[in-house]
A = this chain, B = another copy of it.
Amino acid sequence: MKDKISIVGAGLVGSLLALILKQKGFNVQVFEKRNDPRKSENVEGRSINLALSHRGIRPLKLAGVYETIEPYLIPMKGRMMHDEAGELTFQPYGKEGQFINSVSRAQLNQLLIESAEKAGVEVHFDHKCTDIDFENNELTFHNGLTQQSDLVVGTDGAFSAIRKNLQYTDRFNFSQHYIEHGYKELSIIPTDDKFLLEPNYLHIWPRGNFMLIALPNNDKTFTCTLFFPFEGNLSFAKLTTKDEVNAFFEKYFTDAKALIPDVADQFFDNPTSSLVTTKCEPWHKNNTMLLGDAAHAIVPFYGQGMNSGFEDVRLFVEMAEGMNWKWDEVLPAYSASRKKDADAISELALHNFIEMRDHVGDPDFLRRKKLESKIQETYPKEWIPLYSMVTFSDMPYSEALRLGKIQKRVMDEFLQKEGDVDFDEIINRFNTLKQGG
C-alpha cells in the first residue's frame, strides 16, 4: 500500500493516527502549525493534564506504545470530595481494580510524536495550513508550500483550519457554543518531595455553580482547575484584586488555599480560558476527513475528550481496514456510524459538569448512588452504572447515554416507592425498558 496520507495537526489524536497508519504501511506525513513541542513551552489555553481511560488505552495498546506511556501514568481510583469544612468523602469510579489515569498532555504528546517519527512518519512543524482544495486533496501552507495526497485527515483541534474551510462549502452544518464558565489552572507545589494531597484520586471541591478539581502530576505537584462563571455575582469578573482572590479561596476552598500560599499571584499570572462545544456534519468531503476535536470538541467534564479522539482513531482505522482502505466508501461510512456517539458524549460531558460541581455532595445524589451500588452488587452483569459504561467499556457512547437515561428513570420510579426495594423488580423493569418496552 502506497497511499499518501497527510495529517494536519500533530496533537494527541494526529500523532497516534500517524503512527498507526504508518504501521499499516502508508506513506504518512504530518503537518503541525506549532513549533516542535520538544523545543518549546506548554501552550496556553489547553489543559496541563488529562485523564486517560479505557477507550484511550485500547488504541495505544494496539499501536504498541502503551508500555512506553504507562510509567508516566498516575492511577486515580475515584473522586475525593472536599466539603467546605475540609471533610473528605470518597466515591470509587468503578469496581475494585478499575481506575482512570492522570497524564501530562505534553509528555504524552511527545511520546506519541517520537513513536511516530521512529516508525518513519515525517512530521513537519511550523507548517500552518492556510487553505485546502477539496477537489484535489491539496493542502497549502503559510510558507507557500503545497501537498497533494490520497487522503487528508484534519486532527487540528477545536479550531481546526480544515473544518474552517469546510464551513464555507455548501450544506455544511456547524455550531460552536461556549458555556458560561471558564477555567483557570493553579498549582499545588510541595515543599519537600511529597504530594500534599492523596495522589491516587481526582480531588473535587464541589460548590454548586462552580468547583475546583485537582489532578496529580509526576513531579508530585497537583494541577488544580477552577471552573467558574465568567460573569455574575461570584465570577471571574468580580475577582479583580489579590485581596478578593484570597478571601474567595479562604471562604470556599479553605483546605486547598492552605496548600497554595501564592494563590492570588497564580490567579493573576495564569490565563482564564473558555470552554467550547463544537458540532459539525458532514465530517468528510471527498477524500478529506475530520477526527477528534476537529470533528467534535467537547467540554472536559467526563474526561473523554482525548479518549473519544483516540477511540475515533481505532474505529476509523478498523473500519478502513475492513473496507480495504477504499477511502471514498470509508469516509461516509465512518461519519454515519460515529456521529451519534460524538453527539452523545458531548451531551454527557455537559451534563457531568452539573453532577460534579453540584450533585456529588447532595444527599439525594448520594442516596441514588447507594441504591445503584446495591443494584450493581446484586446484578453485576445486567446493571453497569453510566460512568462505567462511558469510562470502562467500548460500548458506543450513544448506547451508554440511552441506557443511562433508562437507569435514571428506573431509579426515579423506585426511589419514590415506599417500603423495601425489590432488586428483581428493578432489573426486570430496566430490561423491559431497555428492549424498548
**A-side interface residues toward B, CB under 8 Å?**
159, 167-168, 170-178, 230, 274
Contact = CB atoms under 8 A, between A and B. Distances in A.
Contact of A177 (B167, B170, B173): B173
Contacts of A274: 170-171
A178 B168 contact: no
B175 A171 contact: no
Number of identical monomers bound together in the oligomeric complex:
2
B176 A173 contact: yes
13 contacts: A159-B168, A170-B178, A170-B274, A171-B230, A171-B274, A172-B176, A172-B178, A173-B176, A173-B177, A173-B178, A174-B175, A174-B176, A175-B176
Contacts of A167: 176
Contacts of A174: 174-176
Nearest to A280: B176
A159 B172 CA distance: 12
Nearest to A173: B177
A316 to B, nearest CB: 24
A216 B71 CA distance: 75
Contacts of A159: 168
Given A167-B176, A171-B178, 5 more contacts: A171-B274, A172-B176, A172-B178, A173-B176, A175-B177
Nearest to A45: B170
Q: Which 5 A-B pairs rank lowest in CB-CB distance, beginning with the nearest?
A: A175-B175, A171-B178, A171-B274, A173-B177, A174-B176
Nearest to A180: B171
Nearest to A167: B176
Nearest to A279: B175
Contacts of A176: 167, 172-175
A178 to B, nearest CB: 4
A149 to B, nearest CB: 26
A35 to B, nearest CB: 21
A123 B237 CA distance: 41
Contacts of A171: 178, 230, 274
Contacts of A170: 178, 274
A194 B173 CA distance: 43
